[in-house]
């Protein structure tokens, strides 16, 4: 057996090739690694246990029901969150380092103080799901099993961190929910109360989307961008309103696509399945595809 490449020298040669990009990466992103997916999953999991200890018991058998247990868990969340914020903070390396440390803790605690409001919103979301789905048995079943509820919960938590200018972490959080549910909500989107997504696989909600109260979406709905303005060098212009605005009490059925930063769906409208919409519609509109289906009864031979 002759495998000369499986020597330290052979392996080194491959690794040296792999290191070509390191300098560019460090120059671009600074010397600090981002937080990891695993740490982010743990953060979500702990927040879930803190907010809904009955539906998401910590580990297999123990709920964080007791007050002391919840205080302990909240303290732990804030401490680790401060660490994650500190690691991803791009301004940390310059000037006085303790500023970054201090800011990380203040941000983490501010997030902690907003948790009761987030919890209240989430209970309203769970009620909306229970009201809107005949298959739901009770609110606890929604909280413990509905992927749409999970995606909204992670979005609402990530959105608060996004508002607190925490970089990267909110996006990591919503991508974890995306991976679990197939529902892709950008943490920058602004979504009102009593939001319900049923089934949800394939839903996309872009960064500058605005959604009112009591809105319902079904699987495969896209609230996306129409096209991206570019500057004279052909570079994409970032930070503009690119995604639609959805009014209160709108229902959007499966597979519908609504695109564009100027597109406004008036309150109370119903958007039918598979509709492709790139312009605004007034309040209480009903938008449906005209059926173009061709049915033939044939003698099946094969």
Q: Which is nearer to its own copies, 112 or 192 (CB)?
A: 112
For residues 276 and 22, what is the distance between their CA atoms, to the nearest angstrom?
44
Helix (H, G, I), strand (E, B) or coil at 10: helix
For the four alpha carbons of 127, 128, 131 and 135, in that order, the dihedral sign comes to negative
Least distance to its own copies from the beta carbon of 171, Å? 5
Least distance to its own copies from the beta carbon of 279, Å? 9
64 CB-contact burial (10 Å; exposed 0-12 / middle 13-18 / buried 19+): buried
Least distance to its own copies from the beta carbon of 63, Å? 5
Least distance to its own copies from the beta carbon of 300, Å? 4
Q: Which is nearer to its own copies, 73 or 164 (CB)?
A: 73
What's the length of the chain?
Answer: 302
For residues 219 and 302, what is the distance between their CA atoms, to the nearest angstrom?
34
Map tokens 């303790």 to a residue: 98
Q: Token digits for 156?
A: 């609402």
H or E element in which residue 276 lies: strand 276-277
Least distance to its own copies from the beta carbon of 156, Å? 14
| Euclidean distance between the first and the last CA atom of the chain, given in angstroms as a whole number | 54
């Amino acid at each position: 057996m002759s495998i000369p490449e499986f020597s330290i020298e052979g392996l080194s040669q491959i690794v040296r090739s792999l290191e070509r990009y390191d300098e560019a990466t460090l120059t671009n992103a600074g010397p600090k690694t981002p937080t990891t997916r695993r740490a982010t999953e743990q953060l979500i999991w702990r927040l879930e246990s803190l907010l809904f200890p009955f539906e998401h018991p910590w580990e297999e058998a123990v709920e964080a029901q007791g007050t002391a247990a919840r205080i302990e868990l909240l303290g732990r969340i804030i401490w680790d969150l401060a660490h994650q914020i500190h690691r991803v903070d791009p301004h940390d390396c310059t000037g006085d380092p303790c500023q970054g440390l201090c800011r990380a803790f203040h941000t983490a605690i501010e997030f902690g103080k907003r948790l009761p409001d987030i919890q209240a919103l989430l209970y309203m979301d769970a009620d909306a799901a229970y009201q809107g789905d005949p298959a739901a048995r009770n609110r606890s079943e929604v909280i413990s099993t509905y992927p749409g509820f999970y995606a909204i919960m992670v979005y609402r938590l990530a959105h608060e961190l996004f508002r607190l200018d925490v970089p990267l972490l909110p996006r990591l959080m919503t991508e974890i929910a995306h991976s679990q549910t197939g529902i892709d909500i950008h943490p920058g989107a602004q979504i009102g109360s009593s939001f319900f997504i049923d089934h949800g696989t394939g839903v996309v909600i872009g960064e500058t989307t605005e959604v009112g109260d009591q809105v319902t979406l079904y699987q495969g709905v896209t609230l996306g961008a129409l096209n991206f303005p570019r500057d004279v060098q052909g570079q994409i212009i970032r930070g503009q309103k690119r995604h639609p605005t959805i009014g209160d009490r709108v229902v959007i059925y499966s597979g519908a696509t609504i695109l564009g930063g100027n597109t406004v769906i008036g309150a109370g409208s119903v958007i039918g399945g598979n509709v492709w919409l790139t312009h605004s519609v007034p309040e209480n509109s009903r938008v449906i595809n005209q059926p173009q289906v061709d049915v033939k009864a044939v003698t099946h031979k094969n």
